[in-house]
Chain A
């Protein structure tokens, strides 16, 4: 099979809405997934990501809106008429069929000639490295092997889109890492569009070309892992993807290049205006813990960097870094990671330091000071 020659199909969701009684599971979302892309839906449980996947797979029907697969409206087609295959969270392998028959199941439903079924099934078993297990039953395989069977069973049909519903959740950490690479490799090799659903932000970042962060039935942000991590659009995204320090402040000046913000503790910081996509006066300035540089005594930061004062607290040694909990002048807790390359011994608790960071590493999210400060 010349994998790269397979046509690639995009997926479009237009104003899709799904309600279960009074509960709005998916609230009017629109999304485009490019052909051949590894795309992730990321969010906490109950955010609507699995319902979205179910609607694309055909197991749920949207109350309104349309789902387009390669331009064709499939929103009302039953699952067995959609060119979409799914890797289920529980794998859902057929326990009464051997591995070969599990993988061949979809091809048999299409009524393909026997020889082609043989060839394609063996080819796929080969791709997932399970050729020697063809005659075994699913119950005789380990979790990782079952996972690969589930993947092969879906991919052998050459779907326009592959849905993966938290498929790595049941594996232990080491196997999960291994499967992440495996999935990436297979996706590169065959070029089918992958839609991956997970609540694990690290997994989503590691594997996706692009990802969408969902919360409460809505999409908070869509972008590459780097875009979403470095410039989260909302406070939810900032705190869901990795750790971040958010400090309330007010915009004091703004021109085409630079915006100045006065933080709650009085410090003035600058950030590129392009990073500020909101127009209110009140904002929260965000800095990732690893972007801080700790400055003590008479050391000076790089010219042009932002700077605030803080008092160091307890620290945790993690090998690659020291992680500090510090307190800003206004009493706000700050998380600071320092690479394990400079200081010999950690800062003593109570030391007054300055935290400096590059303005380019600053992001800003909307802030409504009249509301309670939800952390």
Chain B
């Protein structure tokens, strides 16, 4: 009898069950690690809060904090500022970032390498350095610190991220599509709005979301340039020294849910666009 036929020849090629389970376990562990602090925050937003401070022990379920979610005017105002700055600076960032991304992804021009370096430096620079230098700039220009300077600072650090995200989308775009549009009678302006823009829109929305999150999140740079104006992170950071009111958890939960909804909507939208 030939020994060759008795060899379990397929063994080496069958996917490993153990490996597959290990991978899936690892993925879920990673998700749990990332989500646990947020879950704790959401859960404790339903905790009873004696004397208007969050307790670190479970004292019983209540919706009180949600009923009085906007009771602290300063905090609500700070969140309003944050949302305004985040939405606005993200919008300005993608408007500035889209042509930059197109230019960098598609054309060779004088100063391209320098622009690349500046964008990389903008992302890599420590927030303390960016914040301090922006403050120095605003002082030199004699610009009163407030919402406007926060806005300018956030655009300054968001543009780089917007460019990186949108550029990735532009790079994946077939240049022949531009030729085809021109061939069919579209001027470069019309070709951009009918072909290029719709196709890079998911990237632009993604960039907007990222900028929004980075902006609403920022503490360090904002600290330098805020003056007397408070944003949500600044208020919360100040409050931790004297005890956090439960409204912080509630509003944070709102921000988190808002972010998740936006991300889901974007994913659903781009899926629909690509398949249907």
Are A106 and B185 in contact, CB atoms less than 8 angstroms apart? Answer: yes
Complex Cα–Cα for A92 and B195 (A):
11
Q: Does B275 contact A (CB under 8 A)?
A: yes
Which residues of A lie under 8 Å from residue B42 when comparing CB positions? none
Q: B180: CB under 8 A from chain A?
A: yes
Q: Contacts A109-B190, A137-B276 hold; do A92 and B180 have CB atoms under 8 A apart?
A: yes
B183 within 8 A of A: yes
Chain B residues with CB under 8 A of A92 = 174, 176-177, 179-180
B184 and A105 form a contact (CB under 8 A): yes
B255: A residues at CB distance < 8 A: none
- With a cutoff of 8 Å between Cβ atoms, the chain A residues found around residue B274 in the complex are 95, 139
Per-residue interface assignment for chain B, residues 79 to 107, with 1 indicating a CB less than 8 Å from any chain A CB and 0 otherwise: 00000000000000000000000000000
How many residues on the B side are at the interface (Cβ–Cβ under 8 A)?
Answer: 22
Q: Which of B184, B185, B199, B275 has the most CB of A within 10 A?
A: B184
Is the C-beta of B198 less than 8 angstroms from some C-beta in chain A?
A: yes
> A80 near B: Cβ within 8 Å?
yes
User: Does A260 make an interface contact (CB < 8 A)?
Assistant: no
Question: Does B271 count as interface, using CB distance less than 8 angstroms?
Answer: no
Interface residues on A, range: 20 to 34
- Interface contact B276-A96, CB-CB below 8 Å: no
Contact B181 A96 (CB under 8 A): no
Inter-subunit contact A137/B179 (CB<8 Å): no
A242 at the interface (CB under 8 A from B): no
Interface flags, B152-185, vs A, CB<8A=1, else 0 = 0000000000000000000000101101111111
The distance in angstroms between the C-alpha atoms of A153 and B194, with both chains bound, is 15
Question: For the complex, would chain B's binding face be called helix, strand, loop or mixed by DSSP majority?
Answer: helix
Given A79-B182, A106-B184, A109-B190: A137 touches B176 (CB 8 Å cut-off): no
A236 interfacial by beta-carbon distance below 8 Å: no
In the complex, chain A residues whose CB is within 8 Å of the CB of B182: 58-59, 78-80
A110 within 8 A of partner (CB): yes
Most buried by A among B177, B183, B198: B183
- Tell me, in angstroms, the Cα distance from A67 to B87 when the chains sit together: 52
B186 at the interface (CB under 8 A from A): yes
User: Does any Cβ of B come within 8 Å of A90's Cβ?
Assistant: yes
Interface flag for A94 (CB, 8 Å): yes
Interfacial chain A residues near B174, Cβ < 8 Å = 90, 92
Contact: A105 with B176, CB < 8 Å?
no
**A13 to B183, alpha carbons, bound, how many Å?**
20
A40 within 8 A of B: no
Query: Is B115 an interface residue when CB atoms closer than 8 A count as contact?
Result: no
Residues of B172-220 contacting chain A, CB below 8 A: 174, 176-177, 179-187, 190-191, 194-195, 198-199
Given contact pairs A94-B195, A96-B273, A139-B274, A86 touches B185 in the complex (Cβ within 8 A): no
User: From A103, which residue of chain B is reached at the shortest CB distance?
Assistant: B184
A58, A80, A89, A110: residue with the most chain B Cβ atoms closer than 10 Å: A80
- Which chain A residues (105-133) contact chain B, with CB distance < 8 Å? 105-106, 109-110
Beta-carbon nearest neighbor of A93 in chain B: B180
Chain A minimum-CB-distance residue to B179: A59
| B residues adjacent to A (C-beta < 8 A) | 174, 176-177, 179-187, 190-191, 194-195, 198-199, 273-276
Could you pull out 8 A-B pairs where Cβ atoms are within 8 angstroms? A80-B183, A80-B184, A85-B184, A86-B183, A94-B181, A95-B274, A109-B185, A157-B185
| Extra pairs beyond A94-B180, A139-B275 (20, CB < 8 Å) | A57-B183, A58-B182, A58-B183, A79-B179, A79-B183, A80-B184, A80-B187, A85-B183, A86-B183, A88-B179, A90-B174, A92-B174, A92-B179, A94-B195, A95-B274, A96-B273, A105-B194, A109-B185, A153-B180, A157-B185
